[in-house]
Chains A and B, each alone.
Chain A
Amino acid sequence: MKITLDADRCCAAGQCVLIAPEVFDQRDEDGVVVLLDAEPPAGQHDAVREAAAVCPAAVIEVRA
């Protein structure tokens, strides 16, 4: 799995951090998403896919 972000579009909802805290974080100053692990282990894949699906700004792209 490889994750890419279009952080410029991020609306700082923070849902990705709630769902996959080992993969995503937020910048303290404005809440914009930070990618902690662009190629997370298999155990994280379901959570990452859910985060991508739920993201209200469609910021997270996941490639198999």
Chain B
Amino acid sequence: MTGLPIAVVGASAAGLAAAEALRRFGWRGPLTLIGDEPHLPYDRPPLSKQLLQGAWAPEKLLLRTADQLAPLDLDLRLGTRATGLDVAGRTLTLDGDVGVSPLAQGRERGTLRCAGVIIATGVAARTLPGADRIAGVHTLRTLDDALALRGRLANGGTPGSEGVAAGGGGRRLVIVGNGVLGCEAAAVARELGHEVTLVGIEATPMAAAVGTEVGELLAEEHRARGVRLLTGAVDGFETAPADPAGGGDRRVTAVRLAHGGTPAGEGRASGGVAAGGGGAEGRLLPADLVLLAIGSRPGVDWLDDPALDTGDGLRCDAYCAAAPGVYAAGDVARWDHPVHGRPLRFEHRMNATEQGMAAARNLLAELAAEASGPAGATAAAGAEAAAPAPERRPFAPVPYFWSDQYAVKLQAYGLTAGADRVETTVLDRAARRALALYGRDRSAVGVLAAGLPPRQVRALRAVVAAPLPWEEARERIAAALAAG
């Protein structure tokens, strides 16, 4: 019997990790990796940091070079989009461009019957209606997004202008959304010398992720660096005709706020950027450039099989299985975390890799069981040739995320979002050194460190590996800090 392939849909961190793990765990059958972008798998966290800043060239973001991918013997289909999945038949529908990159073995449209499928389609940037037809309004999710925005920041923000080195500065950038991405981009743009206004619905930057106290510490750092912080909802954009020579879309001139927009954190120093607009300050924010950093949508639109639950990502069980032979990993997967006892979905870089590996292991275990079971008809040659079958294991990571803004590095383990109790200890306000403990249902479930030495940060991980009584967590944190 000819072996059917395992297909991994999504060629970013989670998909690549899954593909590599499939080989490492013994899959010798055909292996198809499908990515809708034309690029080899690349890393996303540097997009809003080193790449946007101009410190790194795009090549530095590649997770693997072509040479490093070669031993995987991938059927690599870049520039190819999965447009459907028949779960019962484990059959994908693909829609691909042909020959979009040197490594793409571009296939025409068609279907691909699979032994198993791992879905790692990630998330897409949310946007606002009509925003994609306004020049100067950007999102920041893909390499192409980041390069476009970087180009505008480097050349002074004017479409088509050239020859000004990185750090040209002086343009008015309004960032809509004060979550992690918006804050990171604000730091970079400010360091490049641009006038940066950060507008969010939340009064405190990153509050949804880290709580208000840590968020306020970050707000102080942004203000000290000259970022203007506003609270408000965006109503739309003011535009002007495209440059006569450009002949393209209208270009943005201002961001319109729905309810005025108030300076975040009343009574604090507002930093070095002059506010425009006089009495109507905030209502209309003049802008040469706009970054929409208003969250993301899980990449599930293409999954229309009723066997799948695609509300807020692809719903999976504790093994990352969405259906028999169909697994998910990374930003798109919402699975039952066995330790936390509720479905969770993370858009964290670390989770992408770890979940990709877990999904690969569990899929192989399932295929091996199918091959040896009474219904072994669907057995794939690759599974038969595999090493001793791994057993399926619940995926139970200690979540981890980090964020870099200016010289501030935040690192968090466990669950910091959705906490019903946060206790923040500011160790050194000027140096932005802090430690925060996050609780839910009377247990400590997350911990965050800012500005702590690596040894102490690592020691915090064990404290929130599983929910812990609050007082016990505090004692263990104190011990971890004392030992460091």
Which residues of A approach B to under 8 Å, CB–CB? 9, 11-15, 17-18, 26-28, 30-31, 49, 53-58, 61
**Is B457 a contact of A31 with CB atoms below 8 Å?**
yes
User: A26 CA to B454 CA in the complex, in Å?
Assistant: 7
**What is the chain A residue whose CB lies nearest that of B41?**
A58
Residues of A within 8 A of B64 (CB): 58
Closest Cβ of chain B: how far from A25's Cβ, in Å? 9
Within 8 A of A (CB), among B33-60: 43, 45-46, 60
The segment out of B16-24, B91-99, B159-167, B422-430 that lies at the interface is: B16-24
Main secondary structure, interface of B, reads helix
**Is B24 a contact of A12 with CB atoms below 8 Å?**
no
In the complex, B340 has a CB within 8 A of chain A: no
The digit string for B3-36, where 1 denotes a CB below 8 A from any CB of A, is: 0000000000100010011001000000000000
**Is B350 a contact of A31 with CB atoms below 8 Å?**
no
Among A15, A27, A30, A49, contact of B350 (Cβ-Cβ < 8 Å)? A15
**Is B349 a contact of A56 with CB atoms below 8 Å?**
yes
User: A13 CA to B350 CA in the complex, in Å?
Assistant: 9
In the complex, B209 has a CB within 8 A of chain A: no
**Is B350 a contact of A56 with CB atoms below 8 Å?**
yes
In the complex, B220 has a CB within 8 A of chain A: no
**Is A58 a contact of B454 with CB atoms below 8 Å?**
no
Within 8 A of A (CB), among B401-445: 402, 404, 409, 411
Residues of A within 8 A of B411 (CB): 12-13
User: A11 CA to B350 CA in the complex, in Å?
Assistant: 11
**What is the chain B residue whose CB lies nearest that of A31?**
B454
Residues of B within 8 A of A9 (CB): 46, 60
**Is B353 a contact of A12 with CB atoms below 8 Å?**
no
Q: Which of A13, A15, A55, A58 has the most CB of B within 10 A?
A: A58
**Is A53 a contact of B63 with CB atoms below 8 Å?**
no
User: A56 CA to B348 CA in the complex, in Å?
Assistant: 10
**Is B457 a contact of A14 with CB atoms below 8 Å?**
yes
User: A56 CA to B61 CA in the complex, in Å?
Assistant: 12
User: A58 CA to B63 CA in the complex, in Å?
Assistant: 6
Q: Which of A11, A27, A28, A55 has the most CB of B within 10 A?
A: A11
Size of the chain B interface, CB-CB below 8 angstroms: 29
In the complex, B118 has a CB within 8 A of chain A: no
In the complex, B453 has a CB within 8 A of chain A: yes
User: A9 CA to B17 CA in the complex, in Å?
Assistant: 18
User: A28 CA to B404 CA in the complex, in Å?
Assistant: 17
In the complex, B400 has a CB within 8 A of chain A: yes
**Is A18 a contact of B21 with CB atoms below 8 Å?**
no
**Is B402 a contact of A13 with CB atoms below 8 Å?**
yes
Residues of B within 8 A of A57 (CB): 43, 45
User: A12 CA to B454 CA in the complex, in Å?
Assistant: 8
**Is B21 a contact of A53 with CB atoms below 8 Å?**
yes
In the complex, B288 has a CB within 8 A of chain A: no
Closest Cβ of chain B: how far from A63's Cβ, in Å? 11
User: A26 CA to B129 CA in the complex, in Å?
Assistant: 46
User: A62 CA to B58 CA in the complex, in Å?
Assistant: 23
**What is the chain B residue whose CB lies nearest that of A25?**
B454
**Given pairs A18-B461, A28-B453, A49-B24, 14 additional interface contacts (CB within 8 A):** A9-B46, A12-B411, A14-B454, A14-B457, A15-B350, A17-B454, A18-B458, A30-B409, A31-B457, A53-B357, A54-B350, A54-B354, A56-B350, A57-B45
User: A57 CA to B409 CA in the complex, in Å?
Assistant: 15
20 A-B interface contacts by CB (under 8 A):
A11-B402, A11-B404, A12-B402, A12-B454, A15-B350, A17-B454, A17-B458, A18-B461, A27-B454, A28-B453, A28-B454, A28-B455, A31-B409, A31-B453, A49-B24, A53-B21, A56-B349, A56-B352, A57-B45, A58-B64
